[in-house]
Structure 1
Amino acid sequence: MVVGVVWAAVMQVRLFLGGHVGLAGFGENLPCRLGLANFRDPARAGWEHVQPIWTAHAWTGENCPPEFSTALFAQAAGKWLTPLLGFPGALDLRALGVLFGLLVGVVCGLLVAVTPGRPLVRVGFASAVGLVYADAGFAGYLVSPYAEPTALVAAGFLVVALLLLWERPTVPRALATAVPALLVVGARPEYVTFVPVLAFALLWMRGRRVVALMVATWIAGLGVFHAVTEAKFDDHQAVFQTILYDDPTAAADLASLGLDPELAPAAGLSRDDPSWVTFADRYHRTAHPSPLRIAGFYATHPWHAVRTVGWGFQGVAGLRPHYLGSYPEGAGKPEGEREYRVAVYSAIWEVFRRGPLLVLVLWAATAGAGWLVVRRRSLTPSEKTLGRLAVFLPLAALAQFAVVVLVHGRVETVRHLAMTNWLTAMCVPVMAAAVALVLTRLRPVPRWQHRDQSCASIHSQMREIKR
């Protein structure tokens, strides 16, 4: 409770002391579903300053895309909290910052309760996770209209639930795990990659009935999500702004994708580019490639795959969007200025900015340390949960990375990779804990402790048989 209260307070101070910070940008697709609009200065592009105040507005026609996201639940709660906290407008994003900051404190407090080890070790681990949320690379999302903050905070609760479930699988713990899992999967279409990774995590433990229940729950939740959402694959971004970007063989590549080679002069153009108007009709008359077709193209054109993956790793190394400001208007900061109130992980990321492929090294090292923890017989089942987590995080990060690179290519890569970056940042404290567990068990153990450990192992096995 003490750690949770402290980190909840730290997050409030970090977000609001000296004036609030957040993440600029339009992000109207979700608030408009709640009848909200942000009437910013039309002379501005929307990236310079955070615009926290949203007012009631009746949207008509196609101006409000029919999108569904579990982030709508959080924004509805923020809409309810706004007048209670004395903020102006129908929704003030600062109310979301207060809510998410409190939830981060709950995550940190629960981590102290479920993480194995001595109290100081557990507090240190939970605080390292709290620093992830407080870092400049992620804190801005908590005061923004995007779906990412809901997914990032729900992912923290998912980590807590998995540690509990791996330690002792029961039906109540399985149901408790399903809640944050569905919140994460339903936040954005790209997060569907959590489903197979979670299924793998569940199959890697005892209690088959619990596994069957969990897998059935996630599959059902996934089916409901895809039934109610109208997530659209933007093949224009994947083809013209990624594959054809600076592409000397654009005409041949268009033919390979089943598109008109005459569209080659449009390579690299966005839909907002005035020059795109001359190609729009010809483009709409052709059959648009599906994500499967794009994946097949990368499989047969490895050089394009290498280029796109390279842009993806540059996105992970970027950690936070460089074009979105952090301060509101009137804060006395230049347009587009970014804040660095807490920058622990941002400083670590300087290594990845110099060598983006080192992200792969971190993933591999974390998974390797976790595998050693799981395979070491001298560790308790509770300690092995950290090993499973160390394997789970890189797999989830890699799956997220792959789908973002496939769907979005090089367009707004850093923001779309927010979940991948969070999972990667989580690898740092989890790998440290896993390495510490392995090194601790490498010390020579006196004979009398061997006898005590054998007795403890026998008692643990008897308890498992009784259950």
Structure 2
Amino acid sequence: MKLDVPNRLGAEARLGIGVFGTAFALFVVRFLVPRPIAMSNNGDGGRVLCGAGITWKGLPEPFVHLAYTAAPDAPPCRPTYLLTQSWLADLAVRIAGAAGFPRTLSLVVLGLLSSVIAAAAISAIVLGLPYRRRTRLFVAAGLLLVVADSAFFGYFAAILGEGTAFLGLLLVAGGLLLTAREGRWSYAGLAVTFAGGVLAVNAKVQTLTILPILAPAILLVRPGGLRGVRRWASAVLVIGAIGAVTLYAQQSVEPARAPDGTYTAFPGDDSREINVFNSIFLNIVDGKHDTQADLAALGLPPSFAQYAGNGWWHPHPARVDPRYPQYRTQMTRGNVIAFFASHPARTLEVLNRAATDQLTARPDYLGSFEQDAGFPPHAQEYRVPVVSWLTGLIAPLGLFALVPIWLIVAVRAWFHRRTALGVVLALLFAVSVTQFGTAALGDGIEGIKHQSVALFSILIALVLCSSPLNRRSEPTVP
């Protein structure tokens, strides 16, 4: 039996290396052949570039810039909140500098870096699943289909925050599964969980809510071979490290200037009023319901009816009204939450629309190609459309399609609640639901894009749900 242990370890190592090599090779081909693809800037990309040391005053762009070069006379900048995509972008800038292109971000280099991490994360998940090789390879194929799907893959080579959210969640899933294994696998799993947690939690302000979900998941997974104080100490250490890095990173940014002129270092405060404003005038006072009753419930004057359906950046928004400063105090999340809590039918309507947005999977305004590729503005690639095509088919059903998917994952998580797989499924389910609610009720614009993290989470969970379906599967290690 002892002689069999090295053989098993060698087989596991070969499996992990094989999955990583195959995944990375497929990602490279998918990324670069016949031409590089990425995701164009929606107008918010300046934050990622700023975090990488490149000042960029960019508006929404119909084409992809494969290289961003800082102007020689551009003043230095600091982002108002951190996106971990900036860390990968900064590394890509350093690689370009070593190659003789100082202060240049190559999206090709960024995409290759992300592909390496994605391949490693899939390998970690495969190694963490305690099932036979056939079952684990089946899961690997499903993960490849999701990660490489045209709705998600372009974010890896983009100056947007969603890419590192996807990578972080994959790493967290693989890390938690590895943590439950015996011996050195467990320590490797804790390290992978830490790396993934930092990436996912700090990917966007919206993803900061992942931290309170991730913490109990780390505590619930039992590290293989660790018992008693060592078990709890290791879990607390990982949670504390993720929290400390998050606190340090988010407090090291430029103080945000809110629309009312005040400054604060709290992440996202420069857009908090904008988000609430859009939620009010696009989700609630949308001109499709009883506008006067909605305004009264929100404590806004009847004259604001003329701005129904007009968001913050509309040519005629309520914020330009002379009376707006008098009612700015009503632009709070508490006011929005109170409205939705007292109007359940309207809340369900908004949630149903958000479910359709989520299953639509891909916004039509984020192009995939650079201008020299010869495609029209906003043109998109469909090299791997399987998953997003399937979700698009059921998107018109809204909550009638999304809720059953949630139930499948929730039931599987409960059925495997005593295992690391059950913890991972519960984590992905909770992330998907909370990201769904945050994006649906907290902002009235870019609904499809803001739902991408929720959709990615639940799709990864669905793939993992398939792993225990093979009844002949047996643990590969004691």
TM-score, L = length of structure 1? 0.83
Q: CA deviation at 1:158?
A: 0.9
Structure 1 stretch 151-160 or stretch 105-114: which is displaced more?
Answer: 105-114
Q: CA deviation at 1:191?
A: 0.8
1:29 to 47, 51, 62: 47
- Contact between 1:158 and 1:181, CA under 8 Å: does it hold in 2? yes
Distance across 2 between alignment mates of 1:184 and 1:278: 34
Q: CA deviation at 1:245?
A: 1.4
- For the pair 1:326 / 2:372, whether they are aligned, the reply is no
- For the pair 1:230 / 2:283, whether they are aligned, the reply is no
Distance across 1 between alignment mates of 2:318 and 2:423: 52
Task: Please give the per-residue CA displacement for 1:369-419, whole angstroms capped at 9, x wherever unaligned.
Answer: 2322336xxxxxxxx32233222221210011111112213x101111121
What is the aligned partner in structure 2 of residue 20 from structure 1? 36
- Contact between 1:193 and 1:403, CA under 8 Å: does it hold in 2? no
- Contact between 1:4 and 1:105, CA under 8 Å: does it hold in 2? yes
* Structure 1 residues 87 and 142: CA distance shift in structure 2, 3 A: farther
Q: CA deviation at 1:307?
A: 2.1
- Contact between 1:36 and 1:55, CA under 8 Å: does it hold in 2? yes
Distance across 2 between alignment mates of 1:395 and 1:34: 31
Distance across 2 between alignment mates of 1:419 and 1:265: 34
Name the amino acid aligned to 1:412. Answer: E
TM-score, L = length of structure 2? 0.81
1:407 to 439, 442, 451: 442
Distance across 1 between alignment mates of 2:310 and 2:245: 37
What is the aligned partner in structure 2 of residue 177 from structure 1? 193
- For the pair 1:246 / 2:287, whether they are aligned, the reply is yes
Query: Which 5+ residue runs of structure 2 have no aligned equivalent?
Result: 1-16, 223-230, 253-265
- Contact between 2:368 and 2:378, CA under 8 Å: does it hold in 1? yes
* Structure 1 residues 371 and 272: CA distance shift in structure 2, 3 A: closer
Equivalences, count: 429
What is the aligned partner in structure 2 of residue 371 from structure 1? 414
Distance across 1 between alignment mates of 2:395 and 2:339: 29
- Contact between 1:266 and 1:279, CA under 8 Å: does it hold in 2? no
- For the pair 1:311 / 2:327, whether they are aligned, the reply is no
Q: Secondary structure at the match of 1:91?
A: strand
Task: Please give the per-residue CA displacement for 1:413-433, whole angstroms capped at 9, x wherever unaligned.
Answer: 111112111112212211211
* Structure 1 residues 222 and 262: CA distance shift in structure 2, 3 A: farther
Task: Please give the per-residue CA displacement for 1:187-210, whole angstroms capped at 9, x wherever unaligned.
Answer: 111112212222332343454444
- For the pair 1:260 / 2:301, whether they are aligned, the reply is yes
- For the pair 1:387 / 2:422, whether they are aligned, the reply is yes
- Contact between 1:78 and 1:92, CA under 8 Å: does it hold in 2? yes
1:150 to 150, 153, 164: 164
Q: Secondary structure at the match of 2:68?
A: strand
Please list, as runs of the form range in 1=range in 2, the aligned pairs for 1:57-206 lying within 5 A after superposition.
57=71, 66-84=80-98, 90-167=104-181, 173-174=189-190, 176-206=192-222
Distance across 2 between alignment mates of 1:84 and 1:415: 34
* Structure 1 residues 346 and 386: CA distance shift in structure 2, 3 A: same
* Structure 1 residues 212 and 65: CA distance shift in structure 2, 3 A: closer
- Contact between 1:364 and 1:394, CA under 8 Å: does it hold in 2? no
Name the amino acid aligned to 1:3. Answer: V
- For the pair 1:290 / 2:308, whether they are aligned, the reply is no
Structure 1 stretch 239-248 or stretch 278-287: which is displaced more?
Answer: 278-287
Q: CA deviation at 1:142?
A: 1.2
Distance across 1 between alignment mates of 2:20 and 2:107: 23
Name the amino acid aligned to 1:95. Answer: V
* Structure 1 residues 173 and 35: CA distance shift in structure 2, 3 A: closer
Q: CA deviation at 1:222?
A: 4.9
Q: CA deviation at 1:217?
A: 4.0
* Structure 1 residues 85 and 19: CA distance shift in structure 2, 3 A: farther
Q: CA deviation at 1:282?
A: 2.3
Name the amino acid aligned to 1:238. Answer: S
Name the amino acid aligned to 2:361. Answer: L
Distance across 2 between alignment mates of 1:433 and 1:199: 25
Distance across 2 between alignment mates of 1:158 and 1:360: 24
Distance across 2 between alignment mates of 1:369 and 1:179: 26
Q: Secondary structure at the match of 1:36?
A: coil
- Contact between 1:390 and 1:434, CA under 8 Å: does it hold in 2? no
Of all paired residues, the percent bearing the same amino acid is 23
Q: CA deviation at 1:64?
A: 7.2
- Contact between 1:387 and 1:434, CA under 8 Å: does it hold in 2? no
- Contact between 1:87 and 1:95, CA under 8 Å: does it hold in 2? no
Q: CA deviation at 1:119?
A: 1.7
What is the aligned partner in structure 1 of residue 14 from structure 2? none
What is the aligned partner in structure 2 of residue 9 from structure 1? 25
Q: Secondary structure at the match of 1:23?
A: coil
- Contact between 2:122 and 2:174, CA under 8 Å: does it hold in 1? no
Name the amino acid aligned to 2:294. Answer: D
Q: CA deviation at 1:32?
A: 2.7
Alignment RMSD (CA, Å): 2.9
* Structure 1 residues 332 and 89: CA distance shift in structure 2, 3 A: farther
Task: Please give the per-residue CA displacement for 1:122-160, whole angstroms capped at 9, x wherever unaligned.
Answer: 222123212211111111111210111122112211111
Name the amino acid aligned to 1:30. Answer: V
1:53 to 63, 67, 78: 67
Task: Please give the per-residue CA displacement for 1:77-112, whole angstroms capped at 9, x wherever unaligned.
Answer: 111123456779711212111111122221222223
Q: CA deviation at 1:33?
A: 3.8
- Contact between 1:167 and 1:385, CA under 8 Å: does it hold in 2? no
Name the amino acid aligned to 2:268. Answer: A
Distance across 2 between alignment mates of 1:17 and 1:175: 34
Task: Please give the per-residue CA displacement for 1:269-314, whole angstroms capped at 9, x wherever unaligned.
Answer: 1233222378344223321432233112110111321122122101
Distance across 1 between alignment mates of 2:57 and 2:240: 43
Distance across 2 between alignment mates of 1:64 and 1:275: 31
- For the pair 1:355 / 2:371, whether they are aligned, the reply is no
Q: CA deviation at 1:65?
A: 5.4
Q: CA deviation at 1:175?
A: 5.2
Distance across 2 between alignment mates of 1:74 and 1:80: 10
Task: Please give the per-residue CA displacement for 1:230-266, whole angstroms capped at 9, x wherever unaligned.
Answer: 3121221111122111343333323322333322211
